[in-house]
Amino acid sequence: MRIVVCVKEVLDPDAVNSFAVAGRLTIGEDGTSLTQSAIPRLMNGYDEQALEAALRLRDAGASGTIAVVSIGADPANILRHAAALGADEITHVAADPADRADRAGLDGHATAALLVAWIRSTGGADLVLCGRQASDDDQGVVPALIGEQLGVPVVTIARALALEAGGDAVRVTRVTPDGDEVVLAPLPAVVTISSELGTPRYPTAARKLQARRAKPAVVTLDALGVAAAAGAPRVRLLRQWVPALHGHCELLAGAPAEAADALVARLIQDGAI
Amino acid sequence: MAKVLVCGWDTQADGLAPGVEETLTLGRKLAAALGAELGLVVLGSAPPDAARVAGRHGASTLETLADPKLAAGGSDARVEALAQLCQAHAPRALLMPQTFDARLVAPRVAGRLGVPIVMNGIDVDVENGALRVTATAYGGDTHALYEIAGDGTALVCVSTTALRAEPAPEPRTPVVEEFPVDLRTVTERIRVLEPAKTEGPRLEEANTIVAGGRGLGAAEHFAWIEQLAEALGGMAGASRPLVDDGWVDASRQVGLTGRITRPALYIAVGISGASQHMAGCSAAKTIVAINRDADAAIFRHARYGIVGDCHEILPELIRAARAHRAGGS
Ligand SMILES: Cc1cc2nc3c(=O)[nH]c(=O)nc-3n(C[C@H](O)[C@H](O)[C@H](O)COP(=O)(O)OP(=O)(O)OC[C@H]3O[C@@H](n4cnc5c(N)ncnc54)[C@H](O)[C@@H]3O)c2cc1C
Ligand SMILES: Nc1ncnc2c1ncn2[C@@H]1O[C@H](COP(=O)(O)O)[C@@H](O)[C@H]1O
């Protein structure tokens, strides 16, 4: 069994939120990228949970390898983190999704094409695990595009998964607006993981130390033979900005009982209750 | 004539799914900018008022795709049906409200046809003949303007909560036809072992929501949220950390990756107001914030606010709400 986990490096969304709340989130001269160099870069939260899902499958008895792959400018840190957590292989596909220069930027299709080319070049995958969406662009399209390009089923927003006894199918619990749904997908398949999977494990100190020396295998676009396909993104980010928020909040002061009564009075007056 | 299609399916027995009208409004804007024709497409049999709604929003066609395999709701059938529709009409754009199912189906259609896709769209436009989509990013902390190259079909999923449906100045009577979809080769690869079963009303349909966040401090304090919700005849919601920590069920989570709600009244208690949370409630008509940090982001979205400790304020608010209810006014 070969499990591939796709991980993306993103700006820490909590830090981005903090900058936004403080009114200090700004866009650089290129008009597209966030300028805050103080914001740490880390593994997309859902991708960390996708890796956790893979590790849980292994804990549950799945044999084989867990291969973690990332396309990015320099995702060595998050790949080392994956190694410390127990990934057997870590691979860096050298292309920068955030590079806005016309030829190098990647849209969802190009990202998926590179991941698929890499997966094929390594003998394929029985299970591809992704995050439900990347917390920077929030698009959530790459996994479905991978699935279509590979011609395999896609199951989204999983909170739990288990391999069937024969190893030829995966049982997935999905978080739907109508509650949990349990489905059976034949392998190979793509599954996206949601936060409901639960908190991912931490690496032990010893493994962290060990992983510090781990070097991701670096794969170039030329080696994948897809340079041309990845060259011209059809969805191109032209501009990014921080939307203005004009609040007009009326604060209700006084002791708790007073404030509560005042609020209820306002809501009655407005016809809200 | 070039076409802009709007597609919906999660149809309810008594009408079109929420978000379809808002999406039609964007579709009409795009069609006008392109000099194209607007059409509504319904997967499955259209509800009785579909033609009227389509006409009110200026659509010149209403197409239905009826096949028993679509009624079953599997994504393989939906993807194949929409792919056939796009191949037959070559629309310049196919827009759909970003429902739970659309989040899977739309990118798969894009993958199958090899056409561009943008999710979380909030606006569409045309510049020098190129399609441009404004979408939210970083949960809404930023807005992003994407340009779509080429003049082939593009898919856009529309995040409809912040949009307003505006009927066309001149209603039309759409031509109603059935699109001859052929799903003979489709066999759903994914088998549903246990279907989801909705228990009770859904947050999406609640008129009043009282939501609790990490500021509640302890799982047992969520009882206050439930009591206040009950006193106001509403439902209880939560921010993600409460779901992550197992205090409440995932069905309570409001936000970008939870429920997208649109109540008349939303009371946020001990919630900081992170963009990802607000993505699920900012369309509320009135937002009330209770937070002990006067600088919390939530106050920027709120109409009314109380700065203070929710442990002191909630019991008083429950009392006042119950008194109002008992008063029968
Ligand atoms: C990709 C992505 C998707 C996400 N999706 C969602 C989503 O769908 N829904 C969601 O909610 N979040 C989501 N999040 C998380 C989101 O970014 C925030 O982390 C989360 O909403 C914070 O929850 P909170 O406001 O309850 O907690 P906190 O941010 O910790 O805020 C707690 C608040 O309580 C106040 N407080 C503390 N004690 C008291 C007291 N005694 N009385 C009154 N006030 C008090 C504090 O001042 C603070 O403002 C997502 C994040 C990412 C990266
Ligand atoms: N650059 C990347 N490298 C590896 N995996 C990625 C990359 N971009 C997206 N993915 C995967 O696809 C998921 C959805 O990403 P997106 O469609 O960009 O929101 C992520 O959670 C990752 O699992």
CATH number of domain containing B273? 3.40.50.1220
Between the CA of A28 and the centroid of ligand 1 the distance, in Å, is 28
CATH superfamily of domain region A2-6+45-228? HUPs (3.40.50.620)
- Asked if B144's CB is within 8 angstroms of A240's CB, the reply is yes
> Residue A258: which H helix or E strand, with range?
helix A256-269
Ligand 2 centre to CA of A147 (Å) is 13
How much of chain A is in helix, strand and coil states, percent to nearest 5? Answer: 35, 30, 40
What residues in A contact B193, CB-CB < 8 Å?
171, 182-184
- Which positions in chain A touch B303 (Cβ < 8 Å)? 248-250
Q: Which helix (H) or strand (E) holds A251?
A: strand A250-251
Judged by a CB distance cut-off of 8 A, whether residue A260 touches chain B is yes
Band of residue B47 on the pLDDT scale cut at 50, 70, 90: confident
Q: Closest Cα partner for A260 from B265, B289, B314?
A: B314
Of B144, B178, B212, which residue is a domain's last?
Answer: B178
Cα separations in angstroms, B230 against A14, B237, B326? 32, 12, 13
- Provide the pLDDT for residue B46: 83
Kindly state whether residues B210 and B129 are assigned to the same domain: no
Q: Which residue has the higher pLDDT, B23 or A227?
A: B23
Residue that terminates a domain, selected from B163, B178, B193:
B178
The verdict on whether omega for the bond into residue A188 sits within 30 degrees of 0, i.e. cis, is: yes
Q: Whose CA is nearest to atom 16 of ligand 2?
A: A140
When pLDDT is averaged across residues B179-189 and rounded to a whole number, the result is 97
Nearest CA among B267, B192, B200 for reference residue B227: B267
The residue-averaged pLDDT of B266-286 equals 97
Q: What pLDDT score was predicted for residue B159?
A: 96
Question: What does the buried/exposed string (b/e) look like for B248-284 if buried means 16 or more CB atoms within 10 Å of the residue's CB?
Answer: bebbbbbbbbbbbbbbbbbbbbbbbbbbbbbbbbbbb
Q: How confident is the model at residue A246 (pLDDT cuts 50, 70, 90)?
A: confident
| Average pLDDT over every residue of B150-168 | 95
CA distance B273 to B239: 9
Query: In this structure, how many other beta carbons lie within 10 angstroms of the beta carbon of residue B227?
Result: 18
**pLDDT score for A197:** 97
Q: Verify that B216 and B81 share a domain, yes or no.
A: no
Q: Is B152 helix (H, G, I), strand (E, B) or coil?
A: coil
Q: Taking a C-beta distance cutoff of 8 angstroms, is the pair A75, A41 a contact? A: no
Alpha carbon of A78 to ligand 1 centroid (Å): 25
Do B57 and B32 contact (CB within 8 A), yes or no? no
Angle, CA B115 vertex, CA B109 and CA B116 arms, to 5°: 105
Contact between A201 and A67 (Cβ < 8 Å) = no
Instruction: Give the pLDDT confidence score for residue A104 in this predicted structure.
Output: 43
The model's pLDDT over B100-128, given as tens digits with 9 standing for 90+, comes to: 999 999 999 999 999 999 999 999 999 99
Cα–Cα dist B260/B139, whole Å: 13
CB atoms B250 and A175 under 8 Å: yes
Considering only CB atoms, which chain A residues are within 8 Å of B312?
A: 256
The confidence score (pLDDT) of residue A36 equals 81
Q: What is the pTM of this model?
A: 0.96
Same domain, B20 and B161: yes
> Angle of helix B310-327 relative to helix A256-269, nearest 10 degrees?
40
Q: Candidates A48, A68, A111: which one to mutate for ligand 2, based on the most atoms within 8 Å of Cβ?
A: A111
Q: Which has the closest alpha carbon to B108: A174, A7, A135, A146?
A: A146
Would B183 be classed as within a structural domain? no
Ranges of each domain in chain A: 2-6+45-228
**Closest by alpha carbon to B149, among A220, A136, A102?**
A102
Dihedral angle at the C-alpha atoms of B124, B127, B129, B134, nearest 10 degrees? -30
Do B323 and B238 lie in one domain? The reply is yes
Least confident of B138-142, B164-168, B198-202: B198-202
Q: Is any Cβ of chain B less than 8 angstroms from the Cβ of A257?
A: yes
What span, in angstroms and rounded, lies between the C-alpha atoms of A49 and B324?
A: 46
The partner residue sitting opposite A179, judged by closest CB among B199, B288, B306, is B199
- Which residues, in sequence order, are bridge partners of residue B118? B156
Q: Pick from B32, B161, B231: which is nearest to A260 by CA?
A: B231
Average pLDDT for residues B75-86, to the nearest whole number? Answer: 97
Pick from A137, A157, A264: CB nearest B137: A137
Task: Return the residue of A nearest to B275 by Cα.
Answer: A17
Residue B209 lies in a domain: yes
Above 60 in pLDDT, residue B173? yes
Q: Which of A55-69, A221-235, B114-128, B257-271 has the lowest mean pLDDT?
A: A221-235
Whether B160 and B265 map to the same domain: the answer is no
DSSP 8-state secondary structure symbol assigned to residue B252 = G
CA-nearest residue for atom 31, ligand 1, is: B272
Contacts of B72 in chain A (CB under 8 A): none
- Span B224-234, pLDDT tens digits: 999 999 999 99
Phi, psi of B194 (to 5 degrees): -135, 110
Q: How many domains does chain B have?
A: 2
Residue B71 placed within a domain? yes
Residues forming a β-bridge with A184? A171, B191
Q: What is the pLDDT of residue A262?
A: 98
Residue B234 lies in a domain: yes
Q: Which CATH number is B76's domain given?
A: 3.40.50.620
Is residue B161 domain-shared with residue B291, that is, in the same domain? no
* Interface test with chain A among B101, B104, B203, by most A beta carbons within 10 Å: B104
Which residues on chain A are in Cβ contact (under 8 Å) with B120?
138-139
What the block records as the tokens of B253 is: 């989570």
**Cα-Cα end-to-end distance for chain A:** 57
User: Among all residues of chain B, which has the CA nearest to that of A235?
Assistant: B148
Are residues B170 and B36 both part of a single domain?
A: yes
Question: How do beta strands B117-127 and A41-43 pair?
Answer: unpaired
Distances (CA, A) of B153 to A246, B83, B130, B148: 36, 11, 11, 10
Is the complex ipTM higher than 0.90? yes
Ligand 1 pocket residue status of A153, Cβ below 6 Å: no
Q: Which residues line ligand 2 (CB under 6 A)?
A: A 6-8, 44, 46-47, 50, 70-72, 97, 108, 111, 130-131, 133-134, 137, 139-143
In a domain, B194, yes or no: no
Please give the Cα distance from B312 to B60 (Å, whole number). Answer: 57
Report chain A's mean pLDDT, rounded to a whole number.
93
Residue B108 and residue B167 in one domain:
yes
Q: How high is the pLDDT of residue B294?
A: 96
User: What's the CA gap between A211 and A205, in Å, rounded?
Assistant: 10
**B236 and B137 part of one domain:** no
Tell me whether residues B199 and A135 touch, CB distance under 8 A.
no
Same domain, B252 and B161: no
CA angle A128, B9, B163 (to 5 degrees): 95
Domain interval for residue B216: 203-328
Confidence check: pLDDT of A101 > 60 = no
Residues A189-237 pLDDT 10s: 999 999 999 999 999 999 999 999 999 999 988 888 876 555 578 999 9
Chain B interface, mutation test: which of A10, A25, A273, most B Cβ atoms within 10 Å? Answer: A273
The DSSP bridge pattern shows strands B265-269 and B286-291 to be parallel
The pair of structure tokens assigned to A118 is 């890499």
Flag the least confident range among A45-54, A194-203, B41-50, B157-166: B41-50
Q: In this complex, is the C-beta atom of B38 within 8 Å of any C-beta atom belonging to chain A?
A: no
Distance from the Cα of residue B97 to its chain's centroid: 6
In a domain, B106, yes or no: yes
Strand order across the beta sheet in which B286-291 lies: A250-251, B304-307, B286-291, B265-269, B208-212, B235-238
- B172 plus B231 within the same structural domain: no
**Residue-level pLDDT at A30:** 87
Among protein residues, the one with the nearest Cα to ligand 1's atom 49 is: B272
B295 in a structural domain: yes
Determine whether the interchain pair B259/A177 forms a contact, defined as Cβ–Cβ distance below 8 Å.
Answer: yes
- B111 and B161 together in one domain: yes
Residue A96: per-residue pLDDT = 73
Nearest CA to ligand 2 atom 12: A142
Residue contact B306–A251, C-beta within 8 A: yes
Tokens of A257: 């009982």
Of the listed ranges A32-41, B10-19, B64-73, B192-201, the one predicted with least confidence: B10-19
Strand locations in A121-204, DSSP E? 127-131, 154-163, 169-176, 179-186, 189-193
Chain B residues touching A136 at Cβ < 8 A: 137-138
* Mutation choice for A interface testing from B257, B312, B325 by most A CBs within 10 A: B257
